[in-house]
Chain A
Amino acid sequence: MSKRVLEITDLSKTYNVSGTRALDGATLTFHSGEIASLLGENAAGKTTLMKIIVGIEKPDSGSMLFRGDKYIPLGPSSALEKGIGMVPQSLKVISQLTVFENLLLGFKTNLLGGAIKHFKERIEEVMQRYRLQLPLDKKVESLSTAQRQKLEVVRVLQNSPKIIIFDEPTTLISETEKEELFETFRRLSAEGKAVIFITHKLREAYSVSDRIYVIRSGAIIGRYRREETSVEELHKLVSGEEISTDRIQLTSSGEVVLRVEELSIEGSVDGEEAVRRVSFEVKIGELLAISGVAGNGQEELLEGIFGMRKILSGRVLLDGKDVTNMSPRNLRKLGLAALPSDRDGAASCKTATIKDNLVIHRVIDGSWIIDDIGLDAFARELLSDYGVVYGSIFDPALSLSGGNLQKLLLSREISSEPIALLLGEPSRGLDVKHLHLLRAVLTKLKDEMAIVVFTTDLEEALKVGDRIIVMSEGRIVYNDVNRPGLSKHGIGRLILNATGERQ
């Protein structure tokens, strides 16, 4: 009988800025020696719960017991000291330092010499024991995402934690690497540690866990041991609906609006290619979904097409015109619009007003003197058309919740009536309601303009795309029409056959 290692009782939290009730009396228990999944959709509350467990946020009410004692963490390092470590979703490793230097950061004292040697030996021992070997003297910038993830795990393990939390670890790695990760889970739990696997990927949770907790709208609505439940039952709980095998129906193809020929785009290092000789077409009426494991060039592809990154060779043709390496300004004038995946940094200005965020394109293309009254009306109309919840159009954009900001940004791009629209990770972080809205909007729009959705979530791509492209290491490894019956694994197999590599 495994011991209770972390007991969470009645945790609640409301965020003041957006008024969202993120957690609503969540209660659950984690046991040592077990792999437990915290399963839920985006914005269901998993992130908030986890932030509270490691002390990044404080709950409004409720309590936690760690190994029987009251547990109030002050922050991630304090939580780690007490015995709870987390491997975060966005890896907090410093790329300019080596693997060993990154691990040194957690080192208590500032001594040199002998203490460091001893530390090095301990690291090597940990890596050996959990099969997480990494080259100690290599700079992190040359490591793959999966390797960086291993570094994070080692960093946590060197403190001998009792609980290790993995926050959405599978979004950024390939299928093979996922198997390795799950092996790591098993090794850790075999040693008596409690592994908490936070995810929205139902089948993965089901395949690896001993225990599954389903969270929805901030409350734990399902507590099962794996053998007690099934994928279908879980799906119903998680999303509140039956598994649907519906795909958005194919409509007849129209003219080609956007064509990319042998495009190579620069990566983060000068001259290095993040996108290699990629070619595809986008037609009106056919929504193109470009997918693949994150970091394989999708983001660079969007940026390159839209003039935010250098195109090394190849061409981009918009409506027949060569628009290669044109600035965003000129591309917009010709009818290409884009929403980069960096919502806060590039697609919006958090400190500017809602109105300014909305009207910027109209102002730039408008008359020399700004028509304030006309713009106010335009903004209000657009916001109400898309059902955005907001206070006043003069509030700063950071007062909007994630879903509403996304609606605002979408409405802005659509209102400029482009002939082609590029969307970077449009479904990321959206809750179920907004996801459905997004899909509905896309279905309606694809008959009016050519749409490309860039998403690392292959399942989402399969749900919205009429044509699916998968990228790996900057190249296209799959490009075909979406058919009913096509699945993630199906695509994986096809890619395997074509390229001889497991994807």
Chain B
Amino acid sequence: MESTKKKRRTNIMERRKEVLESLRTMGGTVYDQLDKGFFPSVEMPSRSTENITYDPNVRQFILGDKRVRRSARNIRHVKPFTQLVWAAMFSNELSSQRKTSTLRDVYYSAQAYEMTFTDQQESNNIITDLETVLGFSREDFNIFPEERSAVFGDLTIEYTVPGYEGKTLNLTSHPDGVLIGPAVTTSEFVKTTADKVIAIEKGGLFTRFIEENVHKKYNAVLVLTAGQAPRATRHFIRRLNEELKLPVYIFTDGDPWGMHIAMVIISGSANAAHLRELNTPDAKWSGVWATDIVDYKLPTDPLDEVDIKRLYELQRDPRYKDALWQREIKTFMKHKRKAEQEAFSRYGLTYIVDKYLPAKLEETKQK
């Protein structure tokens, strides 16, 4: 690890530089167009559904070749265009001053510039436009989501946020885990003894795993996704996988929704088709499978109509074309039952850690 530290840091610094440069380049382009007496415009890939395709090579959704132009010449675009330039300027300020912000902040900050957005959705859309134009995600512009997930395990990080630069923290230092916030997200990875990442859907189980020393017993970094993993967390998991070469195992509830939480970590979402590096293609969904429900005779609830409908949607989804996924979908459909992770408690509180977890890690082990 030590040997790569310097290089990694350069990577993070360079990424920040790239982001700032792309923002300023955009400003310069608009400035020059105006100065020459032209209506300024920007081009970006279209995010309309027909332009979103699944690319099996990169194993995520990507945007096609269709491009759209936002021009200040168009009376209906001039306002969103102005908002876009404002958002770029605001992001530039945040990034330069190393301050973080949220989507909600963006919405309110606009009012200080008399650039009031009609609603939160409008300002969110503008930020997504900016992501699409520049090809960076909003976290790169220091705009973070409200939702926070957590991480726990023997991983030492080094902060890069102002006031903490150079400070390190071992992620076992707090028994509740450490929030995956802007500071953790922008940290360098210093060292780790872990050889895998276990991502867990629910807070209860995350705490149980810490109590039961799963991180030690299985040499794992534990990540709590807290339901659908936020984009910052997805990026964080990817970095663990990419930079530290740690295989990723995902444990969710045994239902279509849990299955999809795993899938978004693995293959990304259509909403983020304009962005890269948010998914971890080699991550594995380790459970709870529909077949586990049968094999382990777990207490179950019946699938309701919405669940069934969701299964049919997933069955047709290109991300689910692999045999394992198709088999699990069919098994769900066949038994029409679902089970939560907590269902293992019928065999005692530690059964899931002692028996189920090692079995599934073995079953889904990566080469």
Q: Do A and B come from one complex?
A: no
| Residues of chain A at the chain B interface (Cβ within 8 Å) | none
